[in-house]
Chains A and B, each alone.
Chain A
Amino acid sequence: MSGELIIAIPNKGRLKEPAVKLLAKMGILTDGSDREYLSKTTDREVNVLSVRAADIPVYVYYGIADLGITGKDIISEKGLDLYEIMDLGFGKCDLVVAVRKEMPYKSPSDIPQGSRVATEFSNITKRYFDGLGIQVEIIELRGAMEIAPSLGLADAIVDLTSTGVTLERNGLKSIGKILKSSARLICNKVSYKTKYSAIEMVTTKMRDA
């Protein structure tokens, strides 16, 4: 196995299609069956592990996968010690603070102490509001964040947006950007050293693709 690389890619969500396409351009094709977590590819040196985008940093940190493709937002949220060797340029979006349109707040620093903030990104959110000196109560949700303010569950949300349409449709407005995200190629720190030439080959192909 030592010569073989395992690349973890998202098995669903907005990053899945572009990640699969990128690998295809590099001549790395899986047999296409979605049911396999770990599958061989047309490149003998490369296996693909399909798992949740949010778990990819964990698989790479422990060295189960050598490389991984996932969003900068997820990498920051997990905060694990990894190499982040390439910005792949797709999956661009912003992590923003949003509130109901009728609220008077112009920027995140206007949000009152003790407000409730719903998010999937509790670590980033806590760091961000700690930095502003505002104590907030963080409500961790998994998806459908946009409805939290109108239902009275939260005063604000921290969520990803690429066009702003979903926020708009739910009567929300963005009042500040926390992070610009895009897909990144991450690498296990030990694999980078022990499988240097194989990884170098993949990254070169990826840059050219």
Chain B
Amino acid sequence: MDFFDIIKEGTGEGFADSLFKVQDSDGKLLTLRGEVTTQIARMLASRARDETRLFYITNCVKYIDSDASGQREYWQAGAELIGGDAASSDAEAIALALSILDSIGLNGAQIDVGSVGLFRYVLNYFGVSDFEGVIRAVKRKSVDDLRGISMNPRALEMFIYMISRRGGIEVIDKLSEMADGDLGGQKGYFRKLFRLLDAYGCAGRVKIDLGTLREMKYYNGIIFEIFLGGIGTPLGGGGRYDAMMKEFGLEESRATGFAISVDTCIRALESCNFSFNSKERPLGIFFLEGYEEAAIALARRLRANGKGCYVSAYNGEREGVLVSEGVLDLSTGKELQLEGMGGL
């Protein structure tokens, strides 16, 4: 739990609205955890340190407005890197996210990188005022909606390029040509990022799509989304949030991180027929009147051998085993030898 006002500062109003809220004894509004990054930033802001690396695997809750966005409780696994050089830390975060997915067998995962910093730079450079309108259009990759917003034709041309081109570092080169400049230092940043990603051996799995924008207000540098072919929703995402650290009082701090949706990963693994051990069903041990003790004895023996089972009075079941004078396999109707029970 945390104070609503503080969380809202970090995540922005849209996400904060979807959080579960309760009242503290003194009337202050609290929220249940809907994501983790804001709380980490707040905790670290009160005890500033040098470079810090943290991770978490935890459950979160939020209201779901729409009828198609899944569960109200969900699990997230994430990591945060506080401090360090921007391009170096971002490359490390992206490489870590991909290697985590590799390690659980989702090695086809890819990442698309966008940049709020670059986006803001273009908006300011051309003095575009309808910030919200442009964000909405860019998020939806709607060229037609962009055309409906009044702005400098060069700005429009750049935004259309930003949402319709997806590729490697050449996207940034072309953009800097269009803006006659180094894009406020962004060009150098992206060049270094891709050089380091190459050193991590994952540059080929990372693409630039400048239409990538995420819900959270706290991002101010790059934003990235992780996805896998055949799974319709992203596996996770992350980005740079120095601005939020500032919000919480750490002027000079830099921070980057990501979260992976554990639920989406499970869905992805299931879709490639990964079998979870927990799916093995426990064996039913049924008894006729007078044989309950014998059934319990059998269950104890099986459990000691690691076999899950439960004991219940026989009620006409067709699966499991029946304990009376001997032990009967209910699915085959055959008598089982007690010595062979370990093999059940």
- Which residues of A come within 8 Å of B, CB atoms? 2, 57-58, 61-64, 78-87, 123, 184, 187-196
Inter-chain contacts of B231 with A (CB < 8 A): 63, 190
Cross-chain contact A193 with B232 (CB below 8 angstroms): no
Minimum CB–CB distance from A46 to chain B (whole Å) comes to 17
The 7 sampled A-B contact pairs (Cβ below 8 Å) are: A62-B232, A63-B232, A63-B233, A81-B139, A84-B142, A193-B166, A194-B227
User: Which chain B positions have C-beta within 8 A of A62?
Assistant: 68, 232-233
B226-283 contacts to A (CB < 8 Å): 227-234
Q: Answer whether A190 and B140 are a contact pair too, CB < 8 Å, given A79-B66, A80-B68.
A: no
Asked if A188 contacts B232 (CB within 8 A), the reply is yes
B interface bracket (residues with beta carbon within 8 Å of A)? 20 to 34
B80 CB–A CB distance under 8 Å: no
CB-based contact B144/A87 at 8 Å = yes
Residues of the A chain whose Cβ atoms lie less than 8 Å from the Cβ of B230: 2, 63, 194
Chain B residues with CB under 8 Å of chain A are: 65-69, 110, 112, 139-145, 166, 207, 209, 225, 227-234
Residues of B within 8 A of A193 (CB): 110, 112, 166, 207, 209, 227
Q: Do the beta carbons of A80 and B232 come within 8 Å of each other? A: no
State A63–B66 Cα separation when bound (angstroms).
Answer: 17
Task: State how many angstroms separate the Cβ of A118 from the closest Cβ of chain B.
Answer: 20
In the assembly, what is the distance between CA of A193 and CA of B233, in Å? Answer: 12
Bound together, the chains give a CA A194 to CA B229 distance in angstroms of 6
Shortest beta-carbon distance from A10 to chain B in Å? 18
Assembly CA distance A79 to B139 (angstroms): 12
Chain B contacts of A189 at CB under 8 A?
Answer: 225, 227, 232-234
Are A191 and B143 in contact, with the CB atoms below 8 A? Answer: no
State A82–B234 Cα separation when bound (angstroms).
Answer: 12
Q: In the A-B complex, list the 4 residue pairs whose CB atoms are closest, starting with the nearest.
A: A63-B232, A194-B229, A87-B144, A83-B141
Give Cα distance in the complex from A189 to B110, angstroms: 13
Flag if A191 contacts B232 (CB, 8 Å). Answer: yes
Residue of B nearest to A61 (CB): B68
Rounded to whole Å, the gap between the CB of A45 and the closest CB of chain B is 16
CA distance A64 to B271 in the complex (A): 13
Once the chains are docked, how many angstroms separate the CA of A58 from the CA of B65? 14
Contact B144 A82 (CB under 8 A): no
CA distance A85 to B145 in the complex (A): 9
Instruction: Assess A86 versus B144: contact at CB under 8 Å? Given A63-B231, A190-B228, A190-B234.
Output: yes
- Neighbouring B residues of A191 by C-beta, 8 Å: 232
The CA of A90 and the CA of B259, in the complex, are separated in Å by: 40
Chain A residues with Cβ below 8 Å from B166 are: 193, 196
Q: With A57-B68, A63-B233, A194-B110 given, can you name 13 additional A-B contacts, CB distance below 8 Å?
A: A61-B68, A62-B68, A63-B230, A63-B232, A78-B68, A79-B65, A79-B66, A83-B142, A84-B142, A187-B141, A190-B234, A191-B232, A194-B229
- B143 contacts A78, CB within 8 Å? no
B66 and A80 within 8 A (CB): yes
Indicate whether A190 sits within 8 Å of B68 (C-beta atoms), given known contacts A84-B141, A84-B142.
Answer: no
Task: Find out whether the CB atom of A85 lies under 8 angstroms from the CB atom of B233.
Answer: no
Chain A residue nearest in CB terms to B70: A62
B67 / chain A contacts, CB cutoff of 8 Å? 58
* Chain B residues whose C-beta falls within 8 Å of the C-beta of A58 in the assembled complex: 67-68
Residue of A nearest to B227 (CB): A190
A81 to B138, CA, bound (A): 12
Which residues of chain B have C-beta atoms less than 8 A from A86's C-beta? 143-144
Nearest CB of A to B18, in Å: 12
A201 to chain B, nearest CB (A): 14
CA of A195 to CA of B231 in the docked complex: distance in angstroms?
12
Contacts of B228 in A (CB 8 A): 190, 194
A79 contact set on B, CB distance < 8 A: 65-66
- Which of B68, B140, B207, B232 sits near A83, CB closer than 8 Å? B140
**CB-defined contacts of A64 to chain B, threshold 8 Å:** 232
Interface centre among A82, A83, A195 (most CB of B within 10 A): A83
Report if A78-B140 is in contact (Cβ < 8 Å); known contacts: A63-B230, A193-B110.
no
Q: Which residue of B lies closest to A83 (CB)?
A: B141
Bound-state Cα–Cα, A192 to B163, Å: 12
**Residue of A61, A62, A81 with most partner-chain B CB within 10 A:** A81
Q: Whole-angstrom distance between the alpha carbons of A79 and B69 in the complex?
A: 10
Q: A residues within 8 A CB of B141?
A: 83-85, 187, 192
Please, how many angstroms separate the alpha-carbon atoms of A44 and B228 in the complex?
Answer: 24
Chain B residue at minimal CB-CB distance from A82: B140
- Chain B residue contacts of A188, Cβ below 8 A: 232
Distance in Å from the Cβ of A69 to the closest Cβ of chain B? 14
Nearest neighbor of B166 in chain A, beta-carbon distance? A196
Instruction: Check if B110 sits within 8 Å of A85, measured CB to CB.
Output: no
Q: Which of A79, A84, A87, A196 has most B Cβ within 10 Å?
A: A84
Alpha-carbon gap, A196 to B141, bound state (A) = 13
Cβ contact of B140, chosen from A63, A84, A195, cutoff 8 A:
A84
Contacts of B225 in A (CB 8 A): 189
